[in-house]
Structure 1
């Protein structure tokens, strides 16, 4: 990046308007020309601009720090491969200190991209949204490697916000971007892994399996056992959803055995939950509930617990055990109060549906379902929209509200088309 671009980047990072930075130094249009690389400022103007940005002239002399960038990238690889939050915090702090010391380093854009990616691992540290908006302004100046980082960050952000279709679209763009460009093996493994997660959430199971297998090949080769377990869990979930229940059970049991051999408890909750889900689909409710309860015992974070609480509620409701369903509905409602912001709305809408059904809130039934449909539709979660349209239509038909029922049967079919990523019923065949 040239000096003008670095000045623009730092000005935006400090949330300073062009007019405010230019006042008393030069006219805003001249500052704009500097930032766009159309003119080189005089030493006097450069000095005053940097002073106003609280940047020392000494910070311009950072060419001796090339080795530092190599160090950061090596550490960054280690953090992403290990998923170690302690290492992530340490590296984030190192990068922040370096940026403060050398705000106009020519690799500043790459450093900010690394910083934003680390913040996605550490959401409790800082909201990354504003950083992403600033980085997006510099897309034209980015190299392919930098765009790779930016799009990956955008895709992960969409995924974390439950916008799975958008996330998959972004990751597809990443693969197109790097076509013919040699990325490092560990970067491709990470891209394959997050793509498989996104596709799994979008119910594109065959593709998810393909990407997960690509990722696991690298993780096995590098003996990154925890990452291999993560990929096995993705494989098992995808196998489960395409009806390969015995294969899925074998995959989850393999993940459980590997996890036990390394004396880890990190994945116990997730593995037991998915074993329960498989047995539920095999209509072995006793085994399903047993694994769900095992899962819940190992979980401590409300964000993790809520997934299994909802699964237990569904299992009891499916079996017609309304007494236990009500007990777990109450547990779910109580737990939603302690969820992170990204999870709270999602699960509140699920539990509001079950509350309306179990407590037979007939007067508010349609409004409760509509609110949930608006939420899930806004997140492009068409699978849940499709399911809940069917549930509402069936209940309306059961009370002879046939006109309203037909509306939601039709709406459910439209969501089915969206979920299948087609535009007409002919494309379904």
Structure 2
């Protein structure tokens, strides 16, 4: 990076306006030309700019500490592979301090990208991440392939965390084109495969998720990163379940459970038991399914996690027409909903209201279903719109309201098209 770019980067990091930095030194338009590399400032102007930025004058003589960068990269690899939050926090602090103490480090962009990626693993860093991303976007044209790789990965992860799954998968899959003629290290590719598998899985692109996660799994197995391998097996099992190879999914989850047991870890037990329950439910092994769901429930006391399992147990009892137990778990769910975070409270309340309406045979179900569909449509949760529009249509047909039932069967079909992002009939072929 040249002197102008480094001045610009440091000014933005300090959230300083061009007008303020230039005041009494040069006109803002001249500073803009300096920052864009169109002119080289005189030594006098350089010194005045550095002084206002509170940067030591000898910072310009910094040739970069390649050994330090190599050290940071080595630790960065370890943190990303292990997903250890404590290590992430420690490395983030070290990188942050180094950046502050070496504002004109030639490898500044690489360090800034690294710092931002580490922030994603830490709580309460949203504002800092936003600030860093705004700076990095300004320097995209100056970035090399490796820096662009990490910037795009960060943007994909953020989109995924914000439930913008289509944007996440598009951003992440585009990275493979970006690095087509560039050799990233195996651990970097494994992380990309892993993150992309999560994004496409959330978008219901299960075959693609299987391809990506198998690539990640191969690396994690080779490096004996056991917990990462278990995470991959869980993704693989979920994708297999959704593609209809249920018995293969059961074997995958059982394998993950066996590995987890051998390392005496309970970290994944709740998720594994829940998914095994879901598989056995699809195989009509209802008794076995309920055992796994109950095991999952016994592993956690977090309401936001337990509500998922309680809803699933309610579904299982309702599916087998065990109304007494279905009502019992409905009431448990409605009580637990009150303890959830605000966002989850509304989301799960709408799910439980569907079952309350059905199980208690509420008379004013039409307005209830309309309200539920409006909520899920507003939040673009088309999967649930499709499901509950079908439930609504079936209920209307049972009450001999055939005309309205037909309307909602058509509505359900339209929701399914939205879920699949299909805009014309030709795309159905």
Change (3 A) 1:267 1:37: same
Change (3 A) 1:106 1:402: farther
Matched, 1:219 2:220: yes
**1:259-298 mapped onto 2 (5 Å cutoff):** 259-298=260-299
The structural deviation recorded for 1:231 is 0.9
Partner of 2:11: 11
Matched, 1:203 2:207: no
**1:313-392 mapped onto 2 (5 Å cutoff):** 313-320=314-321, 321=323, 322-337=326-341, 344-345=342-343, 348-355=346-353, 357-359=355-357, 360=362, 362=365, 363-375=367-379, 377=380, 381-392=381-392
Q: Is the CA contact 2:257–2:269 (under 8 Å) kept in the aligned structure 1?
A: yes
Q: Is the CA contact 1:148–1:177 (under 8 Å) kept in the aligned structure 2?
A: yes
The structural deviation recorded for 1:335 is 3.6
Superposed CA deviations along residues 72-127 of structure 1, whole A, max 9, x for unmatched, are 11111101111111111111111011011012211111111111111111133454
Matched, 1:71 2:85: no
- Comparing 123-132 with 185-194, greater Cα deviation is found at 123-132
C-alpha separation in 1, matches of 2:333 and 2:85? 33
Change (3 A) 1:105 1:252: same
Gaps of 5+ in 2: none
Gaps of 5+ in 1: 338-343
**1:25-44 mapped onto 2 (5 Å cutoff):** 25-44=25-44
C-alpha separation in 2, matches of 1:48 and 1:314? 70
Q: Is the CA contact 1:316–1:324 (under 8 Å) kept in the aligned structure 2?
A: no
Change (3 A) 1:64 1:425: closer
Change (3 A) 1:95 1:428: same
C-alpha separation in 2, matches of 1:271 and 1:8? 49
How high is the TM-score relative to the length of structure 2?
0.90
Partner of 1:340: none
Q: Which structure's CA Rg is the greater one?
A: 2
The structural deviation recorded for 1:396 is 5.1
- Comparing 278-287 with 252-261, greater Cα deviation is found at 278-287
- Between the two structures, name the one with larger relative contact order (CA 8 Å, sep ≥ 6): 1
The structural deviation recorded for 1:428 is 2.3
C-alpha separation in 2, matches of 1:420 and 1:100? 47
| SS of match in other structure, 2:338 | helix
| SS of match in other structure, 2:65 | helix
Change (3 A) 1:221 1:155: same
Partner of 2:90: 90
Change (3 A) 1:206 1:88: same
The structural deviation recorded for 1:395 is 4.3
C-alpha separation in 2, matches of 1:140 and 1:306? 46
Report the number of matched residues: 419
How high is the TM-score relative to the length of structure 1?
0.90
| SS of match in other structure, 1:45 | helix
- CA-based RMSD of the aligned residues comes to 2.3
- Comparing 121-130 with 35-44, greater Cα deviation is found at 121-130
